[in-house]
Structure 1
Amino acid sequence: MTIRTPVQMDKSAFLAWAERQAENYELVRGRIAMMTGGPRGHWQISFNIAKSLDARIDPETWAVGQEFGVDVGPATVRFPDIVVDRAGEPVTDHTATAPVLIAEVLSPSSERIDLGDKAAEYLALPSLGTYLVVAQDEVKAWVWTRTAAGFPAGPLVVDGAAAVIDLPALGIALPLGEVYRRVRME
C-alpha cells in the first residue's frame, strides 16, 4: 500500500531524508510516498526470490538486494522488492548503478502501479534485462525480458509450481516453485 504526502523534494534531498526514517518511502514525481508493510506471503516470496537468485548468480559480477533504490527518472526513486545490480559498487551508494533485474511482489493495492507505472519506468532503464512481477495469492508471474529488439509490448505470463523463468541477462533460470516455497495459498 502506498500513502502519498504533499511534501515535494528533489532526489538528493529525498535520499538523505529517507536514510534517517524508520519507515520505507519512495519519491514519485517529486512527492514522497510512504510504503507500508505487506503480509507474510509478501515477505516470504521476496525472501525466496532473493535467496534463489543469490544461490545462482555469479557473486563476482552481480549482487542481490532487497528494497534498494532505483533511480527511474528526473524526480522518481523507487525501492523495488528485489534488485540485482553490479557487484563491487561503492557501499555508500543509495541507488543501483545498473540494475539488470528488478522484481516486485504484487499486493492488491499495488497491482495497478507494479504492472503499470513501475513497469513503464523500469522498462526504460537501459541496463535492465528482466522485470519480474509475482503474485502473492497464486503461483503466477508476469515477466518482461529484453531481447535484441527490446522489451515486448506485454509480459509473458507464467504460472504453476513447475514453471521456470529464464533470466538470460544473468545466465540463469528461476524455478517458480522456489519462489513460492513455504507460502501456503488460502
Structure 2
Amino acid sequence: MTIQRPMPMDKAAFLAWTERQEENYEFVRGRVVMMTGGLRGHWQIAANLFRALDSRVDHDRWAVLPEFGVDVGPSTVRFPDIVVDPADGPTTDRTATAPVFLAEVMSPSSERVDLGDKAAEYLRLPSLHTYLVVAHDEPKAWVWTRAAGGFPAGPVVIDDPAAVIDVPSLGLALPLADIYRRVRFD
C-alpha cells in the first residue's frame, strides 16, 4: 500500500488541481478537505433552490451558479451549494468575483460548519448581502441579511412552510415551499 503525503499547495494550485478531480473538495485554512456526496434530500433541495433563484433573477445582472468557488480568505476556498454572482464574470473564472447571495443545504454533519465557520467566513465578504442555510430534513431556514449597519449578530430562523424569504439585493422573494417542493421527509 502506498500512502502519499499531502503536497503544500496555495489557492491557485488548489483550484487548478480540483479541475482534474472527480470528487469535490474545499481548501480550508491551507488544507484540502474532501466533501461528501450528500443525500437525495440535499440534492433535491439544492436543485429546487437553484431553479427558484434562476427563474426569478435578472439574468442580465446575475448568474446563479451551483457549487462554484468562493475565495473567503488567504488560505480558504469554499464551494457553497448555490452562489449568485454578477453575470458579467469571465467564463474562465474559478471563483466568484463579487457574490451577493450564498446558500448551503445543511445536514446534521455539516451544521457546525454551515452555521459556524462558513457563516463567519461568508459574512466577512464585502459583496455579500444574503447568506441562507436550509435544513435537509425539515422546512427550515437560517437567513443573514446585510442591513445598513452590517449583518445581524445571528440569523433570522424561518420554520413556517408558508413563509417567504426576502432577498432585497436581488429584488426577489423565495417561498420556503418552493425550496422544499416535492421533498418528502421521513
Q: Same fold (TM over 0.5)?
A: yes
Q: Distance in 2 between matches of 1:159 and 1:128?
A: 23
The count of corresponding residues between Structure 1 and Structure 2 is 182
Find the aligned partners of 1:159 and 1:75 in 2 and give their Cα distance.
Answer: 35
How far apart, in 2, do the equivalents of 1:136 and 1:177 lie? Answer: 13
TM-superposition CA deviations, 1:84-107 (whole Å, max 9, x none)? 000021000000000000000001
* Bigger strand share: 1
Aligned to 2:9: 9
Q: Which runs of 4+ in 1 moved over 6 A?
A: none
1:142 lines up with 2:139 in the alignment: no
Q: Which has the larger radius of gyration?
A: 2
Q: Please tell me the root mean square deviation across aligned C-alpha atoms, in Å.
A: 1.0
Q: Which amino acid aligns with 2:68?
A: F
Equivalent in the alignment of 2:158: 158
Give the corresponding residue for 1:118.
118
Q: Which residue of 2 aligns with 1:42?
A: 42
User: Corresponding residue for 2:175?
Assistant: 175
**Aligned-pair CA distance for 1:159:** 1.1
The two structures have a TM-score, normalised by structure 2, of: 0.96
Distance 1:109 1:6, change over 3 A: farther
1:52 is the counterpart of 2:52: yes
Asked if the contact 1:7–1:32 (Cα under 8 Å) also holds between the matched residues in 2, the reply is no
Q: Which amino acid aligns with 1:81?
A: D
**Match runs of 1:15-26 below 5 Å:** 15-26=15-26
1:71-86 correspondence runs (5 A): 71-86=71-86
5+ long unaligned stretches in structure 2: none
Q: Which letter maps to 1:27?
A: F
CA distance in 1, matches of 2:34, 2:107: 15
Instruction: Report the Cα offset of residue 184 of structure 1.
Output: 0.3
Unaligned runs of 5+ in 1: none
Q: CA deviation at 1:160?
A: 2.1
Identity of aligned residues (%): 72
Change (3 A) 1:181 1:6: same
TM score, norm. by length of structure 1: 0.96
CA distance in 1, matches of 2:9, 2:42: 29
Aligned to 1:131: 131
